[in-house]
Structure 1
Amino acid sequence: MSSQPTVLVVGDARVDAGKTTFSVGLLDRLGRTVAEADPSPIGFKPRAGNDYWFDHDDVRAATDERRLYGKDAARLADVSGTTESPGGPGAIERLNPVHRLWRPTPGRTGTLGEADRTALVDRVTPDGETRYLVNGAAEADGLIPAPISERLPLADARRVGSVVEFNAAMRELHLPAFERLAERIRKAAGTRPVVIESYGDIAVPLENLREVLELDVVAAVAPTRLRVYRGDRWLRARSVASGSPREGRLEERTGRVAEMVEPVATRELPALPSGVRADPGGIAEAYADAYEAVLEQVKPDRR
């Protein structure tokens, strides 16, 4: 394992697992061990998403800038060592190339088979140039709110209306974006500490992660609990569990992979007040024991 750790943070609960809080504090903790002349730790979030209804303030803030991103990716950018200003144009998108906007649709099955919610728009930024993918079926049914159509440049965006069309768009837009991000992560790993935050309760956010880098450790975060896994064992278990790729719809969940590999450490995570959650240094202090359990797996004698 590298002296510059590469850590994957996954959620052990579908929503509100605490991944971003954990990742932000971990980046702060790692930054304290980096020499002044060395590159700062950097965080990546390959995929993200938010909801027009449940995350309305965040959606408005981003679309006011004619952008589409979420607060989790923005928080990672704020504490990451990047060449751009943390919240400036391009900084968030470089760390988070794919973002999906949802809305609740009670009683309706979405285009991708999701129950009671519908994907509206994807923002895909493979290499600095942002493209949008619009759910044409949702648009035809009047499900895309007017402010989204007015604030985002969707007039020339690609439209898809079926799973087949969406999978074709995934191959042409999303997968190249993920491949470029994986290469960016590969180049960063070994030269600086890297934290990769997954999406929802997805076990591995990039299909080719096992091929492009040596993952040191996995932190599976759930309310009140951290479980720590060896990176190589986690990726091997995920490969066994996944079988064949299922583009655009289903990925292996953290719980499924966790059934196949034993954790090397477990820790309790205390509840944090909002003031602490907003402060990376405060998180690092509150979760100090948990971070030590993660970084213990990166020591040379753990190889």
Structure 2
Amino acid sequence: MTLLVAGSDRVDAGKTTFTVGLLDRLDAVGFKPRAGNDRWFDHDDHRHAVEQGRLFGKDARRLVGAAPEPLDPEDVNPIHRLWRPSPGPGAGLLGKTDREFVVDRVAETYVVNDTVELPPEVREHLPVEEAVRVSSLAELNEVMANLHLVALDGIGRRIAEREPAVVESYSDVALPLREFEPDAVAVVEPTRVRVYDGQRYAKACAVASGGHEEGQLEQRVPAVVDLLDPIASVSLPALSSEDRKDPAAVARAYDQAYDELLAAVA
């Protein structure tokens, strides 16, 4: 059984909190094939990893903290992107006017955006002198075909070998892996979760129109779920910060939502 947790909002949908409670309920390993954080908005989290000579985020750290076996964040998250704000009228390498990518970790390889100045802590702690460097979208797309997609295919095989497995998507992207068909899908947003049949959801992803995002075409959750009726919609209670830190507390609070999600597999 493989379950997908996706979010209908680009940030703060509640995906990771929902996922860690589900991991506790199932005694399962959770995977986040792609993730990212921002040097400005997530600075403490960013420094925590970079000063260890690593690049990962709090979502992957929470997933391995809820796992039934010892794991590192990199074990469940092969691709992590560091962003930084980009104020001003110009658009960066990816055509965004509000932020620009700084560096990707792809498995153990680093990919540096050569059009931006690297932050001092990145230059000091990460092996960027050995990194692959890109200075155009065409170069990034070529690197993604040779590195990123290989890493995603590798984590896809690992997910297929786990029973059960939970996959958390990133941002509001509908599917984080190619040719991936989960058994059931939870689309999380503030106050509720909607449950979908995995096969129907995957088919809707195939016909939904994608958008140019982060160097590749991706389907967004709102475009996909507009094509589907949910099997169930369950209200989610607000949780205290302490409860959100405790996977068992989340599992108790979201028990009805997990029941509906698992019933969709049967």
* TM-score using structure 1 length: 0.84
Q: 1:132 aligns with which of 110, 115, 138?
A: 110
Q: 2:175 aligns with which of 204, 209, 217?
A: 204
Q: 2:231 aligns with which of 256, 264, 270?
A: 264
- The structure-2 alpha-carbon separation of the partners of 1:96 and 1:49, relative to structure 1 and needing over 3 Å to count, comes to same
Q: Which amino acid aligns with 1:110?
A: G
Q: What residue in structure 1 maps to residue 156 of structure 2? A: 182
Shift of the alpha carbon at 1:150? 0.7
CA contact (8 A) 1:170 1:247 kept: no
Taking the TM superposition and a 5 Å limit, the aligned residue runs for 1:99-138 are 99-107=80-88, 108-125=90-107, 130-138=108-116
- Taking the aligned partners of 2:67 and 2:247, their CA distance within structure 1 comes to 11
Q: 1:57 aligns with which of 44, 65, 69?
A: 44
- The structure-2 alpha-carbon separation of the partners of 1:243 and 1:271, relative to structure 1 and needing over 3 Å to count, comes to closer
Shift of the alpha carbon at 1:115? 2.1
- Taking the aligned partners of 2:218 and 2:64, their CA distance within structure 1 comes to 26
CA contact (8 A) 2:51 2:121 kept: no
> Secondary structure at the residue paired with 1:202?
coil
Shift of the alpha carbon at 1:81? 3.4
CA contact (8 A) 1:112 1:249 kept: no
- Taking the aligned partners of 1:43 and 1:65, their CA distance within structure 2 comes to 23
Higher deviation after alignment, 7-16 or 243-252 = 243-252
CA contact (8 A) 1:182 1:208 kept: no
Deviation per CA, 1:103-124: give whole Å up to 9, x if none.
Answer: 0011231201122100000001
Q: What residue in structure 2 maps to residue 273 of structure 1? A: 240
Give the count of matched residue pairs: 265
- Taking the aligned partners of 1:109 and 1:176, their CA distance within structure 2 comes to 28
Q: What residue in structure 2 maps to residue 38 of structure 1? A: none
Q: What residue in structure 1 maps to residue 12 of structure 2? A: 16
Q: Which amino acid aligns with 1:132?
A: Y
Structure 2: segments with no counterpart, 5+ residues? none
> Secondary structure at the residue paired with 2:228?
coil
Q: Which runs of 4+ in 1 moved over 4 A?
A: 242-247
Q: Which amino acid aligns with 2:11?
A: V
Q: What residue in structure 1 maps to residue 134 of structure 2? A: 160
Structure 1: segments with no counterpart, 5+ residues? 32-40
Q: Which amino acid aligns with 2:178?
A: E
Q: Give me the CA root mean square deviation.
A: 1.5
1:169 equivalent in alignment to 2:148: no
Q: What residue in structure 1 maps to residue 120 of structure 2? A: 146
> Secondary structure at the residue paired with 1:137?
coil
Deviation per CA, 1:63-112: give whole Å up to 9, x if none.
Answer: 11100000000110111234xx33xxxx2112100000000011231201
CA contact (8 A) 2:21 2:248 kept: yes
Deviation per CA, 1:160-204: give whole Å up to 9, x if none.
Answer: 00000000100111010001111111122xxx2110000000000
Q: 1:27 aligns with which of 23, 27, 34?
A: 23
Q: What residue in structure 2 maps to residue 48 of structure 1? A: 35
Deviation per CA, 1:184-230: give whole Å up to 9, x if none.
Answer: 11122xxx2110000000000012214xxxx2100000000110000
- Taking the aligned partners of 2:178 and 2:33, their CA distance within structure 1 comes to 11
CA contact (8 A) 2:211 2:217 kept: no
Q: Which amino acid aligns with 1:285?
A: R
Shift of the alpha carbon at 1:250? 3.7
